Amino acid sequence: MTIHPTAIPKLYIGMDIHKKSWSVHLRTDISDHKTLTIPSSCDVLFEYVQTHFKGHEVSLTYEAGCCGFSASRYFLNLGWNVLVVNPADVPRKDKQTYQKTDKIDCKNLAKQLHSGQLKGIFIPDEAQDLLKSLLRQRAETAKQLRAIKSNIKALLLYHGMEVPKEFDSPNWSKAFIQWLMNIKWTHQTGKICLDSKLRMFNLIHEEYLQLANELRAYCRKHHKNDYYLLKSIPGIGGYLASAIIAEIGDLRRFSSEAQFASYVGIVPTIRNSGGTEKIQGVTPRCKGLLRSYIIESAWVAFRLDPEMQTYYRKHIGRNPKSIIVKIARKLLNRMLAVIKSGVPYQCSYSLNNGKETKKVLRQKPHKTI
C-alpha cells in the first residue's frame, strides 16, 4: 500500500539583510534547520532552497531597511510568501535587548513567522517604488535649497550687511537676487565668494522646479484619474496630489478612513491606564514627509473652504494647531472618499436668504500647494 502525504511541507525563512551579506535562518514546520551567512544575492538563497527543500511551500520575512523591497519582489515573483515587517513590530524577549546579533535576529524572525505573529507592511511594485524615490529626491533638493539660502544670508550677516526689509523673506524674488548680485564689496574676494554661492543657488533652484514639474507630468500621464480626483479637493494642488500618489500609491487598498489616517500618521497617541485616558499629540509613527505636506495643505483648505471655516469656529478656544490637525484628518477622509467613489469633490454651503436656502457651488480655488 502506498501512503501519500496529505500536507505540503513548509519552510520558514528569516533574514537579516545587510549591504554585503545576509544572515538567513531556515526552519521547517517540524524543526529548525540551520543558520547561514550568504552573500547579498537572491540567487544564492534560491539555489540553496531548491537544492535542499524542493517541493516545500516557502515563506520568507525580513525587516524593512536601507535595502528596500527589491529582494521581496524577486522572491514574490518565484511564488514565495513574503512579509516585509517594520522592525519595531517584531516581538522580542527582554534578553534580546542585551544580546543582539544577526544570528539571533534572523532566528527570531523565522520563529515569529512560523507562529503567525508577524504583520507585514505594504510592498510596492517597482514603478511605484521609483516614483516614491522621485518624490523624496525633490524633498531632498528642497532641503538643499533652504541650506544654500541660509548660507548666503549667513555670509551677509557675518560681514555686517543688512538685508533690506522688503527682501527679508523666505521667498526670494528676482529683485532680491539682483540686489545680491549688485552688492559692492571692498575686496574682490567677497564678490567671488557670493557669486559662487549664487551659482549654486541657481543650479539647485532650477533642479527644484524641474523635479516638481516632472513629478506632476508623470502623475498626469500615468495616474490621470486619481490625480484630478485629488486635485478637486480645496487645498490640494498638483504637487500634493502627485505626492500622495507617489508616497501611498492606490488609496483603494485602505478599507476604512481610520486605516488610511493611521498609515499617514494623523491619529492621536493615547495612554489609557486605570480608567485614566491621556492624549499626547499625534503619533510619531507616520509618513513624515507626506504628513507635513497634508498639515500645510490643511491651512490652505481652511482659508478656501467655508465648511472648514465652520468646523474651525466650532472649536475656537482650543489650540489652533490642534484644530488644524483635525482639519487635516477631514482632508484625508475626503481624499479616500473621492478616490473610492470616483466622483470629484464639490465644496458647497448654504446661504439663508429669508425663507429660502440656496445651494452655492464654490469655484475652483486658485492657490493650492
Per-residue pLDDT in tens (0 to 9) along the chain, 369 residues: 454 454 789 999 999 999 999 999 999 999 899 999 999 999 999 999 999 999 999 999 999 999 999 999 999 999 999 999 999 999 988 888 888 899 999 999 999 999 999 999 999 999 999 999 999 999 999 999 999 999 999 999 999 999 999 998 889 999 999 999 999 999 999 999 999 999 999 999 999 999 999 999 999 999 999 999 999 999 999 999 999 999 999 999 999 999 999 999 999 888 877 777 777 788 899 999 999 999 999 999 999 988 899 988 988 888 888 899 999 999 999 999 999 999 999 866 444 443 333 333 443 444 455
Q: Is 49 exposed, middle or buried (0-12, 13-18, 19+ CB in 10 A)?
A: buried
> What gap in Å lies between CA 369 and CA 366, rounded to an integer?
10
pLDDT at 181: 94
Smallest CA-to-CA distance from 36 within 49, 55, 92 is with 49
Cell matching residue 140: 531632498
Neighbouring-strand partners of residue 36: 24
210 C-beta neighbours (distance < 10 Å), count: 12
Cell matching residue 287: 509618513
Fold (topology level) of 10-115: Nucleotidyltransferase; domain 5 (3.30.420)
Q: What is the largest CA-CA distance in the chain?
A: 103
Residue with cell 490652505: 300
pLDDT at 193: 96
> What gap in Å lies between CA 117 and CA 298, rounded to an integer?
37
Cell matching residue 184: 559692492
Cell matching residue 86: 517594520
* Annotated domain spans of the chain: 10-115, 126-222, 226-361
pLDDT at 97: 84
pLDDT at 359: 38
What is the phi/psi pair of residue 6, to 5°?
A: -100, -5
